[in-house]
Amino acid sequence: MSDPERLRDLLHPGFERSLLEAAEQASAPPVARRQALSGALAAVGSFGAATGAAQAAAQGAHVAAAGSGTIAAGVIKAFAIGVVSGALVAGGAVGVEQLAEHPVAPAPSAATAPQRLAAPPAPAPPPRARAAALSPATPAPRRAAVPAAPSTSAVVPSTRLAQEVAALDRARGALSGGDAPRAIALLDDYAARFPRGALAPEASVLHIEALARAGDRARAATLARSFLVRHPGGPLAERARRYVGPP
C-alpha cells in the first residue's frame, strides 16, 4: 500500500500551502541550549559511580537551579538531580549550571558557535523530510519565528518525570547513606506510584543493589538474572551483572 501524497505536494502555491511550509521554516532552539544539554546528558553514560566530587557538583547544580527564579527551574532542577546524581563528569554539571542560570539564553551567532557537536560520522541517512529541512543552506536556526512568551506563564511540561527522578534520588540517597532497607521501601513506593515509569529499569537495578546491600543476595541474584533477560546490554546491565552470582 502506498502512502497518500502530502498536502504540500498536492496544493498549488497559495495561502494553505504557505501555512504548511511555515512549519518547515520554523525556528529551532538556541544552539547554546542544545550544546549545554548535550554536555550534561553525555555524563549520564557513567551510571552508578557517584563520588564526593559528583555529589558536590550536584549540590551546586541544585543551588543554581533553585536560584534561577522561574517556574521552569523546577524542571531544570529535576533534570540536574537526575543527571548529576547518576553521574560524575564535572563537565556535565557545568552544563547543567549553565542551563539553570540561563534558562532562555539567546543563541550565540552561528559564526561563533559550532552548529554540530562532535559526533560520530553521520550514521543512517536521514529521512526525506529531514534531508529537505536540513539543507546546508540554512545553517543558523532562526529563533524569530517563535513568538516569545512571558516566562511567568511557563508550564512545567510533566511533573511526573520530575517526581520519578526525585523518588529515585531519595532511594539512591538512602542506599548510599547505608540504609538499604529504607532504600528498598522507597523503591517499592516508586514501583507502586509509577507502574510504567520512564525510569523503571534504573529503579530495578537500584533495587537489586539495595537487596544485595541488605544481605539478600539470593533475591538480588534472581532479580538480576531476570533484569538481564529484559535488558541484556548497556550500563545498567553492567551493574546488574555484578549481582548475578555463580550459576
Partner 1 sequence: MAAVADRERTGADAGARVRAAVAEHFDYVWRLLARLGVPSSSVDDAAQEVFVVFARRLEDVRPGSERSFLYGSALRIASDARRAHARREQRTAPERDVGDPAPGPDELLDARERLALLDRILDAMGEREREVFVLFELEELSTDETAALLGVPRGTVASRLRRARSEFFSRAKRLRAQAGGRS
What residues between 197 and 226 interact with partner 1 by CB under 8 A?
Answer: 198-199, 201-202
Long-range contacts of 99-102 (CB under 8 A, 24+ apart): 99/33, 99/36, 99/37, 99/40, 100/61, 100/64, 100/65, 100/67, 100/68, 100/73, 100/76, 101/64, 101/67, 101/68, 102/32
Residues between 172 and 201 that touch partner 1 (CB under 8 A): 198-199, 201
Choice from 56, 104, 110, 218 touching partner 1 (CB under 8 A) = 104
Nearest residue to 80 (alpha-carbon basis) of 29, 47, 37: 37
CB closer to partner 1, 4 vs 136:
4
Site string for partner 1, 45-84 (x = CB under 8 A): xxx-x----------------------x--xx--x--xx-
Q: Which is nearer to partner 1, 157 or 181 (CB)?
A: 157
Residue 158 interacts with partner 1 (CB under 8 A): yes or no: yes
246 binds partner 1 (CB under 8 A): no
Query: Binding of partner 1 at residue 113 (CB under 8 A)?
Result: no
Q: Name the residue nearer to partner 1 (CB basis): 29 or 181.
A: 29
SS3 103: coil
Residue 112, SS3 per DSSP: coil
Region near partner 1 per CB under 8 A, out of 54-62, 127-135, 182-190, 210-218: 127-135
Query: Which residues have a Cβ under 8 Å from the Cβ of 62 and sit 6 or more positions away?
Result: 77, 80, 81
Query: Which residue in the block uniquely carries the three cell numbers 533484569?
Result: 227
